A and B are shown apart, each in its own frame.
Chain A
Amino acid sequence: MSEQALSHLKVLELCNFVSGPYCTKLLADLGAEVIKVEPPGIGDEARKRAPFLNDIPHPERSGLFLYLNTNKLGITLDIKTTKGRGILKELIKEADILVEDNPPKVIKALGLTYQELQKINPRLVMTSITPFGQTGPYRDYKAYEMNLYHAGGEGYLLPTQSPDLTREPVKAGGLVGDCICGLSSAIATLAGAYNLNETGVGQYIDVSKQDVLMTMVLLEIAMYANMGIVRNRLERPLLMPIPMECQDGYIMISALTDREWQDLVKFMGNPSWASDERFSQWILRHTNGDKINPHIREWTKSYQKDELFHQLQKSALVAAPVNSSEDLVNSAQMEARGFFAEAEHPKAGKLKYPTVPYKLSKTPSKVERAAPLLGQHNESIYCGRLGYTKEELVKLKESGII
């Protein structure tokens, strides 16, 4: 891929499921060459996860895998074998970046620590993404997204504004926790690559997923660290803290400043309840939010969510509808931005994919390649790059190493 921001970067991925693959996907979508290494026969765990196209389970038709691995090359290799590790090291010699997500003790057992690898490639930037990082008493502990989300303190306050205050905590939907970890890892990795370009020397980057979740403005953590206060998720009488119901869904309206509040009141047609002295200042509106919210709720019910959204925006008020996936795929805004792009895949056919959330004017990202089939680029990498003959490739295949 020429003319992309990261066209000159060569990345090797030794990762599974979401965090690591999302990290390298972000680099691949910006133009880096990413070679994904998967275990022979089995492949990445994500291949086994729903949603499957037309609900028919198949390792080449998992929506999760297809999304997380666009623009990558895919090869198979059993790194548990000595031969496999030898080949991996040949690939590492040619890479700028290695991203891996194995527990520290596994990496050590495989002889793939940064100390070892820097000897064969001093330029290497190696990023390890693990649940609790490379140091500390929990370094070899196991945790998935749903465990870490709660370990990182994100879940403790959820659901906020719950009518049932004694219920168990929940987490945000989807695999957002893992995506945040992938994003953070991509930034640190790119900073390492930037520095490599200037100095010619690589380095080791240790990412702790628990730490990532804690850096996402959890002011509750700062409050305890500095004032000893533990906040819980009990209901507080805030002004419009949750979406309001409309005829066909929900809308989230905000009126944070005095001016916005006055504009909103005017927009609602100056109802008499709004002139209450208790609602005259920001702080009063927040402590008396429970007295205002029922009025707003009553008022929004007479609108359709998109109708109200556009009208509020025209009055320079802040609002957005609660969008379902259908709303988003059919959104005029998404259409105008070209957010969804089609890519052809040998097994999954032509599908629409979400692209990247940023547009670079000079080096635009494009979906050039769908996710690789398991071992799709074995020949081009092993024969084309490393110089193995086709006979050797057959032997490696027969012995289960690739």
Chain B
Amino acid sequence: MVLAKFCPQELIIRMPDQALSHLKVLELCNFVCGPYCTKLLADLGAEVVKVEPPRIGDESRRRGPFLNDIPHTERSGLFLYLNTNKLGITLDVKTRTGQSILKELIKQTDIFVEDNLPEKTAELGLTYAELKKINPHLVMTSITPFGQIGPYRNYKAFELNSVHAGGEGYMMPIESTFPTREPVKGGGLVGDCMCGLSASLATLAASYDMKATGIGQHVDVSKQDVLMTMVGLEVAMFTYSGIVRTRHKRKAMMATPKECQDGYIMMSAFGDRDWQVFARFIGKDSWAEEERLNTPMKRWENSDEIDQYVETWAKKHKKNDLFHNLQANALAGAPVNTSEDLVKSPQLEARGFFVEIDHPQAGKLNYPSVSYSLSGTPCNTWRAAPLLGQHNEFVYCGRLGYDKQALVKMLEAGII
């Protein structure tokens, strides 16, 4: 476990020495997608101010898993993970006063990320056309289920719906023993994370351009489109040839993980060199020489026989023994890891993937950090997710110049 470099909460405003230290971001988002987009920027050093509705806060505060299974808005694992390194304020943007305060904040920001349906954004007077009048540098990113244009632009969809709308679910589960069963989707909230990732990339590209030209722009992200760009070759096949592929079982060599004594291993032997080494590895030296198996096509034709043998063979081994032995033979393979395997992995330990961060309500917890390490500007300063309204005074008084009495009044009126 790598201990993060702790900084007193109120002292770090901009994280020094990070890649995006000079970027100021304002987030008006809920749940996973938008918050993940700005988390990626915050973890790279940008100053992200998260705006939440007073008292209620982000929807993800009410989602499990909760620490020790006790539901509490400051102890949701989902919220805590998605909002590291951000500043948090509350503001009711449905009120006139709220809208005008938000605009004051927008004047001071480089990037504004929001996830309201287009009709809602128009109703709140927060369209890009309006906002660029008060801040021509502004990069505004809108993340919605179907984008800002087209007949579905005001349709609602959560991750579960978007993944199936994007065509990702239609092929799943592949290799199903029940080809007539309903489609499923990838686990967790991976669909929303991909949308956040894509939105983050486009936002960063627009900011790069803004620094070069001084002029901002509107970035319109459609979640359905994001899911379709993830090499859905089935989509390409239809556009090329009019073929609709289904999720029925197809003939393939070692397409799914094989059972071991203590779990599963996913092995691959693509190409002739890997096949020959693999055949010897599993004690079938003759297969390495046999002409009937000497091309990928021939192996594909005989995959039932190969898979049957490999299945019986794998059951005599442990998944990690196989993993390391495969790798020693320069063969591709990896165990199907459970969360326990990952948390205890020597590889992740060596990379310092988990960081410990302290939080006033949730205490010290281990968090996954980032998947990249930057040599010149490492992501090594970690701040826990903000408590609801934690940085109200800092932002409203410190940045916008409100005095403390005004803050109390806004609090009493329910605006913050």
A153-B342, A194-B20, A205-B375 are known contacts. Are A329 and B235 too (CB-CB below 8 A)?
Answer: yes
Q: Are A174 and B350 in contact (CB under 8 A)?
A: no
Q: Are B168 and A135 in contact (CB under 8 A)?
A: no
CA distance A294 to B305 in the complex (A): 40
Majority DSSP secondary structure for residues of B touching A: mixed
Q: Which residues of A sit under 8 angstroms from B148, Cβ to Cβ?
A: 359
Considering only residues 174-222 of chain B, those with a C-beta below 8 Å from chain A are 174-178, 181-190, 192-195, 197-202, 204-209, 211-212, 215-222
Q: What mask results when residues 181 to 220 of chain A are scored 1 for a CB within 8 Å of chain B, else 0?
A: 0011111101111110110011111111111101111111
Tell me, yes or no, whether A272 is within 8 Å of chain B by CB: no
The stretch of B92-100, B280-288, B326-334 that contacts the partner chain: B326-334
Count A-B contacts at CB 8 Å: 505
Q: Are B338 and A191 in contact (CB under 8 A)?
A: no
Q: What mask results when residues 10 to 53 of chain A are scored 1 for a CB within 8 Å of chain B, else 0?
A: 00000000100010001000110000000000000000000101
Q: Are A215 and B371 in contact (CB under 8 A)?
A: yes
The residue that B198 contacts in the complex, of A4, A164, A198, A358, with Cβ under 8 A, is A358
Q: Which residues of B sit under 8 angstroms from A209, Cβ to Cβ?
A: 371
Q: Are A357 and B222 in contact (CB under 8 A)?
A: yes
Q: Are A358 and B202 in contact (CB under 8 A)?
A: yes
Chain A: CB-nearest residue to B217: A362
Least CB distance, B25 to chain A, in whole angstroms: 13
Majority DSSP secondary structure for residues of A touching B: mixed
Considering only residues 329-364 of chain A, those with a C-beta below 8 Å from chain B are 329, 332-337, 339-340, 351-363
CA distance A351 to B233 in the complex (A): 14
Chain A: CB-nearest residue to B239: A352
Tell me, yes or no, whether B88 is within 8 Å of chain A by CB: no
Least CB distance, B372 to chain A, in whole angstroms: 4
Q: Are B161 and A252 in contact (CB under 8 A)?
A: yes
A150-B337, A159-B176, A322-B183 are known contacts. Are A64 and B233 too (CB-CB below 8 A)?
Answer: yes
A135-B351, A187-B197, A220-B188 are known contacts. Are A203 and B374 too (CB-CB below 8 A)?
Answer: yes
Q: Are B161 and A318 in contact (CB under 8 A)?
A: yes
Q: Are B347 and A6 in contact (CB under 8 A)?
A: no
CA distance A219 to B162 in the complex (A): 20
Tell me, yes or no, whether B394 is within 8 Å of chain A by CB: no
Q: Are B365 and A226 in contact (CB under 8 A)?
A: yes
Q: Are A174 and B230 in contact (CB under 8 A)?
A: yes
The residue that A354 contacts in the complex, of B162, B185, B236, with Cβ under 8 A, is B236
Q: Which 3 A-B pairs have the closest CB atoms?
A: A203-B376, A336-B150, A136-B350
Q: Can you pick out 15 interface pairs between chain A and chain B where the beta carbons lie within 8 Å of each other? A: A9-B208, A30-B201, A54-B240, A67-B236, A142-B327, A151-B337, A209-B371, A210-B348, A214-B368, A214-B371, A217-B189, A230-B339, A252-B160, A318-B157, A360-B217
Beyond the given A201-B376, A224-B343, A324-B170, please list 18 additional residue pairs across the A-B interface where CB-CB is below 8 A: A31-B205, A137-B347, A148-B334, A150-B264, A155-B187, A155-B336, A174-B232, A187-B201, A192-B19, A209-B371, A216-B193, A224-B340, A252-B169, A320-B155, A333-B146, A334-B150, A354-B228, A358-B221
